[in-house]
Amino acid sequence: DTAVSQTPKYLVTQMGNDKSIKCEQNLGHDTMYWYKQDSKKFLKIMFSYNNKELIINETVPNRFSPKSPDKAHLNLHINSLELGDSAVYFCASSQTTGRIGPEQFFGPGTRLTVL
């Protein structure tokens, strides 16, 4: 059973397009995250959601918007894609007792390429 799943695995698109990446977790966790990993493997947190409430926004461009229909899903919408958005995006989840949970489980990643 897949704990944290993401779709699609690969996404190739043109500049200016709008795209979405979906994430689902079946662990019963109450917090989900989105990370961006660039070509140098730097991993930066973008968002986290706890009980449908955004609790972290690491000043990413407002072209990026997380949407959480329920606590098992956290989708990432990106408007007006730019070349610099090309990266691998990872979803993660955890059961948190505070602002950030002790152990995060990661999805397999979505490689986004903007042409």
Partner 1 sequence: GNSVTQMEGPVTLSEEAFLTINCTYTATGYPSLFWYVQYPGEGLQLLLKATKADDKGSNKGFEATYRKETTSFHLEKGSVQVSDSAVYFCALLGNDMRFGAGTRLTVKP
- For residue 85, the 8-state DSSP code is G
**Interface mask toward partner 1 for 76-95; x: CB under 8 A:** --------------x-x---
Q: Are 15 and 115 in contact (CB under 8 A)?
A: yes
Contact flag: residue 41 with partner 1 (CB under 8 A): yes
Binding segment for partner 1 among 11-19, 21-29, 64-72, 102-110 (CB under 8 A)? Answer: 102-110
Nearer to partner 1, 72 or 100 (CB): 100
Q: Are 30 and 51 in contact (CB under 8 A)?
A: yes
We find the least distance from the C-beta atom of residue 68 to partner 1, in angstroms, to be 19
User: How many beta carbons lie within 10 A of that of residue 62, not counting itself?
Assistant: 8
Q: Are 76 and 87 in contact (CB under 8 A)?
A: no
**Interface mask toward partner 1 for 18-37; x: CB under 8 A:** --------------------
User: Cβ-count burial of 50 within 10 angstroms (0-12 exposed, 13-18 middle, 19+ buried)?
Assistant: buried
| Residue ranges that bind partner 1, judged by CB under 8 A | 4, 40-43, 45, 56, 90, 92, 99-100, 102-109
